Structure 1
Amino acid sequence: MAPPTPRSCLRVKGTDIVDADGKRVILKGTATGGHTNMENFITGYPGHETEMRAAMLEVLGQEKYDFFFDKFLEYFFTSSDAKFLASLGLNCIRIPINHRHFIDNLNPSVIRPGAFKLIDRIVEACAAEGLYTIIDMHTFPGGQNQGWHSDSGIHKALFWDFKDLQDRMVNLWAEIAKHYQGNTWVAGYNPMNEPADPDHVNLQVFYRRVEKAIREVDPDHILFLDGNTYAMDFSAFKEVLPNCVYAVHDYATMGFPMGEPYTGTPEQNDHLQKSYERKVEFMKSHGVPIWNGEFGPVYASASDEDHDKINAQRYNLLGHQLTIYKKDQISWSIWLYKDIGFQGMVHAAPTSPYIALLAPFLAKKKRLGLDKWGRDDRQVAHVYAPVIEHFRAEIPPAFVDRRYPQLWKIEGHIHRVLRETLFSEILCWEYASYFADKTFDELDALAASFRLENCVRRDGLNEILRRDATESG
């Protein structure tokens, strides 16, 4: 039996999210990243989604290209996925979206025919299991940040420099809000994922514009507003907008291969607490709700040395982070639900057609450390070290680490341009070549590798999430 439909939209009341009866609701869930916005480390391609799709179209031709991606989108999230997530006690699913599902750069004022059909299917499948959804715009034309997940194909955030790009996204959000107005299973809208505005003022202008445009057609839904610099910095924020939840992303470097192992020392736990407190200081000082929109370690694969020990440490790290959030009774959404075995709650099986086909390429990509997310540079550090040394030798010290985001330092910007952008873009053709001459049946089997029924469940992670979701509501 389907759960009763909420009588009204969730809303903000002081520091809480509340339902129609004024009862506090703590949203706990995950994100369907890699689905309606594909990402390189999640499904194994290099670089940016648009470049990968272009290479796949060249190899497959239009008919097979459409067939494969239609099947991938169909299989990746079904009613079975919603039932599984609900069985863990989770109550909210974040849906990251690539804006290209809705608008074409050559005709940006027109919404693509059938654009809402895919998102509606996810929203409806979740609603049938009593799961709220949050609509998250994960990419913006020109790039709202410098990362691969903005699908801009470049290493700059040009969105902030062009008002016409901003106009088209404000208009798109008005259309989305108009479509979901009155849908009480939609918890709200996350207007922009991980903004990175170098001037620290354009983001707030955009939030005021998009809030006004949404409220004109949908006065009820909550907006979930990310902080600047990848949802980690609210230091330049000047105001609180009505019926808004403010969002951080609280990743811990101890959960990644390049970070120190987490052993639960007082010093490490103190660092985790202080990092979290720094990110949420704006929310606490202004008395507004907190949503941790992304967090979570990456996990070692069975082929990695000491993988059981490493993963036990990362489960413990995740558990400690959840105790921090529980103390403040904040809402959260872990990253990530489904992938090829790197971070997801479930992942494509090692014996699946997709993993079996791409095994040599995935091994090469891992060796080269092309994906920023959780890579290990041990096998290629010697290649890039002279380049970094050259930059540091020739650029005056006052300027070498000045480029925003400064926290990346010059090393991060070099890797972003050389590896994550240029190298990865070129290797998109190699990735696509693995799909050459595949039949429709073979393409169907490859896409079906991502059906829940064909996936492996990461039980250690899922039990931690289930325990937190069910023990504390």
Structure 2
Amino acid sequence: MNCQFTRPRWGAAAARRGLGLLLAFLSLGAQPGFGQALTALRAAGSRIINAQGQEVVLRGYNVGGWLLQESYILQTDTLNCQWRIRQGLLRTMPEAQVEDFYRQYRQHFIAKADIDFLGRQGFNAVRLPFHYDLFLTPEQRRARTAVIRDPRNDQQLTAYVEQLSRWYDQGRLFADAKNLEGFRLIDQVAEWCAANKMYVILDLHAAPGGQGTDRNINDNFRPLDLWKRRDAKGRLIYQDITVRLWEKLAARYKHDARIGMYDLLNEPHNLNASNGLSADNQELSALYARLINAVRAQHDQHLLVLEGNGYGNEYTNLTPDKLAVKDKSNLVYNAHRYWCPNTPEAADPNANQINLIRNLVAFRDQWQVPVWVGETGENSNEWFAAAVQGLNAHHIGWCHWNIKRVDSGAGLLRVKPYGSILTPEGRAALLRNVQFANCQVNRDVLAALTQPATQAPFAALTIPGTIAATDYDLGRNGVAYHDEYAARTDYRELKPTNHGGAYRNDGVDIAACPDAPNGFAVSHLTSGEWLAYTVIVKTPGSYTAALRLQPGATSGRLALRLNNAPLGTATVAPGAGWATITLTTPTLPAGQHVLRVLVEEPINQLGWLRFDAAPGGSGAGGQ
């Protein structure tokens, strides 16, 4: 899930201009249940409905990386997970200062401005991934920090588990709701979201002990301890603690309509025989039964999201007929969709594996339960748009991952690089850069999610004038551009969709290029690929078109078209250095048109196109 992106040129004014351009062309289509006062959600057969009986399709964003730091989001991959980040910080400052840094981090990473922005785009849901340690008291968190200082010390970890066990028996875990950071943050987010008519989905992202083997996700000290760790009394104490946490959450929010759903356990994974567990989800089924019963015992009828094994997708022994609970109402089955096909015909032979759209629909129809995609993304815009169109067509809600990433085009908001989190300068820059006002909106990602079928200008382009090659239109592969590899549909395929990884998140290959007007060029242009640009021809007439490019090892050829009418062809001699190739167009009519650059024979890079009035032509002078 780690993607490397070359740093773009930053500027608040430029970001505002770009966002304004996009919003001039985009408005999210009407969504069932959006724009009304929030009422409690419930399941009615395979649909989610509100108090008025209207279907509500939840489409929103995850605010991951905030209440649980995942290393790739912050570009701290060598540290691997939150506890290792904290461990590094503890080597450079006292524990009190580490706690203070995290308070500031939580204050700045997501704020009201971020939620308001999501609301303005028409999203109606926010999934809130959180770490269980936010519901610990300072004393209890200090006990966990002692393990972080020496995580390989089994005696230290055992002492922590036994301390948790005593606190559990004494009723001291999650008991002081008024003063615990986790409850305060949920209350705050619920208030911000409700003001924007958005539901909050509570997501236990890092459960006590850890629900899998991936430390980045569940921040565990030992793999699968949620399923294996026993205290001195022989209890699966981490499971007891998880149940206690949801009891306390249910007691506090059972009448709160702002909370749309409880996502009981994020992405359980690698629960299998090779890890000493069952091969058919028996442990997961038993814990879900406990959690469902515990929430319902609080007279809480919130929708409960179940996540299957295998990162949230596989439901053997977890279907409604298999769950050992009396009240099977208001259950929602989840899928996490990454690096898989979006085509209607794609299907998994295991009917209980539901990350493919066809399986999702079949599972929903068979069991008459709502299904929801709690996470999706980590791909190109082409994949995003195809996924959204496919899910929307079946009235399946989704929640995109993720709102913010450092130096990444895959999130909605791009955070500027900040240096090292282990230095005072780096931390200060991080706290500054993550604030909404200092982030860049990835307009192409927003367009792919909110207007997946639309072609729209990425920038205001005029003739005469200079057109950056990278400022091709917003839209899908085959509509705004054509690239031979535009989306990753196999998790085993590690080939990047964007060679160069810069500027935009499409399948188009873009690399840093000082010779280009915006610092970037389209690269790896192969035969059959093309780019489309919505342009305004200010004055009719003939123009000289100059193409700034880097040839390849063999002869290349580019053709220009305006609304599919040929403008000319440029033959490019082999070479290594940059060159400018010119051709003279026929008379161009005034007004808005679509200019296309077609690659008939490959070249290495295209930086820009410049149109000036041809000698003796009637076009206005260039700029």
TM-score by structure 1 length? 0.70
Match of 2:433 among 422, 438, 449: 449
SS of equivalent residue, structure 2 residue 332: strand
Aligned to 2:72: 41
Change (3 A) 1:325 1:244: same
Change (3 A) 1:87 1:158: same
Indicate whether 1:285 and 2:369 are aligned: no
Distance 1:270 1:5 in 2: 35
Aligned to 1:467: 451
Distance 1:66 1:457 in 2: 30
Indicate whether 1:324 and 2:376 are aligned: no
Summarize the alignment of residues 429-444 of structure 1 with structure 2, pairs less than 5 Å apart.
432=422, 434-435=423-424, 438=425, 443-444=427-428
SS of equivalent residue, structure 2 residue 320: coil
What letter matches 1:56 in structure 2? L
Aligned to 1:119: 186
Distance 1:222 1:253 in 2: 27
What letter matches 1:149 in structure 2? I
More strand by share: 2
Aligned to 2:263: 190
What letter matches 1:180 in structure 2? Y
Match of 1:26 among 30, 33, 57: 57
Aligned to 2:411: 344
Distance 1:88 1:322 in 2: 15
Change (3 A) 1:145 1:283: farther
Aligned to 2:135: 102
Indicate whether 1:13 and 2:51 are aligned: no
What's the CA shift for 1:253? Answer: 5.0
Unaligned runs of at least 5 residues, structure 2: 1-34, 145-159, 230-235, 273-277, 322-327, 349-355, 455-623
What letter matches 1:88 in structure 2? Q
**1:191·1:225 contact (CA, 8 Å) conserved in 2?**
yes
Summarize the alignment of residues 374-413 of structure 1 with structure 2, pairs less than 5 Å apart.
none
- Aligned identity (percent) is 25
**2:193·2:199 contact (CA, 8 Å) conserved in 1?**
yes
CA offsets, 1:94-124, max 9 Å, x none? 0001111113454543227423112221221
What letter matches 1:13 in structure 2? A
What letter matches 1:179 in structure 2? R
SS of equivalent residue, structure 1 residue 205: helix
Aligned to 1:397: none
**2:209·2:220 contact (CA, 8 Å) conserved in 1?**
yes
Aligned to 1:378: none
Distance 1:330 1:78 in 2: 28
Indicate whether 1:252 and 2:339 are aligned: yes
What letter matches 2:239 in structure 1? Q
Distance 1:12 1:454 in 2: 40
Distance 1:469 1:136 in 2: 31
**1:28·1:469 contact (CA, 8 Å) conserved in 2?**
no
What letter matches 1:269 in structure 2? T
TM-score by structure 2 length? 0.54
Aligned to 1:311: none
What's the CA shift for 1:288? Answer: 0.8
What's the CA shift for 1:284? Answer: 2.7
Match of 1:269 among 343, 365, 383: 343
More helix by share: 1
SS of equivalent residue, structure 1 residue 37: coil
Unaligned runs of at least 5 residues, structure 1: 255-267, 299-313, 350-354, 359-430
What letter matches 1:246 in structure 2? Y
Number of residue pairs the alignment of both structures matches: 355
Indicate whether 1:87 and 2:120 are aligned: yes
SS of equivalent residue, structure 1 residue 210: helix
Change (3 A) 1:328 1:5: closer
What's the CA shift for 1:290? Answer: 0.8
**1:345·1:462 contact (CA, 8 Å) conserved in 2?**
yes
Aligned to 1:414: none
Distance 1:288 1:140 in 2: 25
Aligned to 2:442: 458
Change (3 A) 1:93 1:150: same
Distance 1:286 1:443 in 2: 49
Distance 2:415 2:368 in 1: 42
What letter matches 1:167 in structure 2? D
What letter matches 2:437 in structure 1? E
Distance 2:385 2:36 in 1: 32
Distance 2:382 2:217 in 1: 28
Larger Rg, first or second structure (1 or 2): 2
Distance 1:201 1:238 in 2: 12
What's the CA shift for 1:218? Answer: 3.9
SS of equivalent residue, structure 2 residue 202: strand
What letter matches 2:192 in structure 1? A
Indicate whether 1:158 and 2:225 are aligned: yes
